[in-house]
Amino acid sequence: MGFVDYTGQKEDNYTDVIEFAKAQQEEEKRRLEDARIGRWMAERFEDGYRYVGLSFHDLIRHIMLQYRQVKKLEDRLLLKQDEALPFNTDILWKDFCIATVTKQLSSFPINVDKRNTCYQTFLEKAFRLSNVTSAEEHYGNMRDNAAYRRYFDNCFDLASGKLFWKWIGHQNTKEDVLWIEFIDSCEKLSVLLGYYLYLGIRPNDSLWMENLDRDHKLYSAMKTDNSRMRVKKSDYSRMRNPLYEADVTELVSSAPAKKDEGSHTDMQEKSDEGNGMASSEKMESTEHQNSQLQESSDSVGQQIEPKRPLLDKNRFQQLIGERTLKSYIQACGLLIACNLPEEMNKLYRELLARIPVLQETIEKYKDVYKTDIDQFCNYYIPETLQLTAAYIEYLDVDIDRNIVQDTEREVLRALEKLLLAVNEKIDEVYSFASMDIKAKARVLDTMMSQDGYVDPIFKIR
């Protein structure tokens, strides 16, 4: 070995060589581990492989988008609730987010300070929740407050209470896939959170994957219960956060109250008798209330009515899955048909014009230059189209305008970069093609010169 001489003495570069060998070994180990995780994530959800190898910045952006998808589904499920609830749904949602984050944090060996920092980062920066329970307060209550700990176990533990899941899904029908979509989206969010933490910590074990595997089985069991209509109504009395129980009379859900005509009429009649109202006045009052109720119902219907042509999701996902430039051209057409904002529509029409040029250029000069477009077909283009599809869904749901505007800026930025990359790839192909043409021209000129066909001024008369 070159770094040990014939006397057995180590040469000066011995340590450097050993360090280099160790680094190479670690790099190979990491590469194999990433490949294993990629296969594992692909088993969890269809596009799981594309998250492997992303930077922290890109991954946290995907986490933010996935959280918004989960929140959107939760909002739609809340519209199906038809009864007054003895707890505040906003507090319950924040506690659900806390449970989701802390469950992933518990799978990694990190110190208290780093754990608390991750807790606040996910909830306040990625999820953008305000007035959320601090990490110190939450972990302190989980340690010292038995009622608080029991509340979290009853509501959010997938293996025991599951009250949150039963409450949000008990009105789901066998044919309605909304609750199933919510479960799948929650699982995907948990996987992305776990993978983000794995990249930052790089633990020596696979506990985080084992825990997510266990949760996957529990999620599957819940979906099986749904298919067999075994999802029962929750015990609401155990769904009150004990930190706010003193204010429970003030914690009224924004969900519309369940109509109970008999009991409401009895209460109204007693109130009317006490105030000495005449029978005709009572009838007018009842008619007025019914009119208001109808107007309110119409208003809700208008809010959830789609504002633009709906995206054909099944066809769109089918085209994305084909991973070809031709299929992406058709997918762009589906997005444009959804009446995109003016600037976004303009960029998509430019993209729709340039992708065929890229395809034609690659085919035309395939014998001259073997261009690599794997990144375009497997990540750049499908990722941009998926972001736009998510943005279109946000437009059709009554969510915070700031979220919609932030997403629109992200989509426009991605579109501009994609269009720039497509144009640069076209220029790259033509650049190599022109080099080939110049080389052929020089060869032709040389051969003709050798055969005596030269410029007349150089001829020997």
* pLDDT tens digits, 57-87: 888 989 999 999 999 998 888 877 666 777 7
Give the per-residue pLDDT at 22.
Answer: 73
- Neighbour-count burial for 98-118, b at 16+ CB within 10 Å, e otherwise: bbbbbbbbebbebeeeebbeb
Cα(392)–Cα(386) distance, rounded to whole angstroms?
10
pLDDT over 70 at 313, yes or no: yes
pLDDT over 90 at 193, yes or no: yes
pLDDT over 80 at 106, yes or no: yes
Among 291, 380, 293, which residue's Cα sits nearest to residue 328? 380
Which phi and psi angles does 35 have, rounded to 5°? -65, -40
Give the per-residue pLDDT at 406.
Answer: 83
Using 50, 70 and 90 to split pLDDT, how confident is the model at 234? low
Q: Regarding predicted confidence, which is higher, 73 or 294?
A: 73
Using 50, 70 and 90 to split pLDDT, how confident is the model at 450? low
Q: Regarding predicted confidence, which is higher, 140 or 82?
A: 140
pLDDT over 50 at 159, yes or no: yes
Give the per-residue pLDDT at 10.
Answer: 53
pLDDT over 50 at 276, yes or no: no
pLDDT over 60 at 401, yes or no: yes
Three-state secondary-structure class, residue 4 = strand
Using 50, 70 and 90 to split pLDDT, how confident is the model at 227? low
Q: How large is the average pLDDT for residues 428-451? A: 72
Which range of 141-150, 169-178, 276-285, 391-400 scores highest in mean pLDDT? It is 141-150
pLDDT, one tens digit per residue, over 14-23 is 566 667 777 7
Q: Regarding predicted confidence, which is higher, 250 or 353?
A: 353
Q: Regarding predicted confidence, which is higher, 9 or 210?
A: 210
Give the per-residue pLDDT at 302.
Answer: 40
Using 50, 70 and 90 to split pLDDT, how confident is the model at 195? very high
Give the per-residue pLDDT at 99.
Answer: 94
Cα(432)–Cα(356) distance, rounded to whole angstroms?
19
Give the per-residue pLDDT at 344.
Answer: 92
Contact predicate 75/399, CB 8 Å: yes
pLDDT over 70 at 208, yes or no: yes
- Average model confidence (pLDDT) across the chain: 77
Q: How large is the average pLDDT for residues 167-177? A: 66
Q: How large is the average pLDDT for residues 43-58? A: 82
pLDDT over 60 at 225, yes or no: yes
Q: How large is the average pLDDT for residues 379-385? A: 91
Using 50, 70 and 90 to split pLDDT, how confident is the model at 140? very high
Using 50, 70 and 90 to split pLDDT, how confident is the model at 12? low
- C-beta atoms surrounding 328 within 10 Å: 24
pLDDT over 50 at 265, yes or no: no
pLDDT over 60 at 455, yes or no: no
Of 52-56, 173-177, 327-331, 332-336, minimum mean pLDDT range:
173-177
Q: How large is the average pLDDT for residues 105-133? A: 91
pLDDT over 80 at 169, yes or no: no
- Neighbour-count burial for 33-69, b at 16+ CB within 10 Å, e otherwise: eeeebbebbeebeeebbbbbebeeeebbbbbbbbbbb
Using 50, 70 and 90 to split pLDDT, how confident is the model at 267? very low
Give the per-residue pLDDT at 96.
Answer: 94
Structure-block tokens of residue 99: 């449970």
Give the per-residue pLDDT at 457.
Answer: 52
Distance of CA 197 to the CA centre of its chain: 16
Give the per-residue pLDDT at 231.
Answer: 53
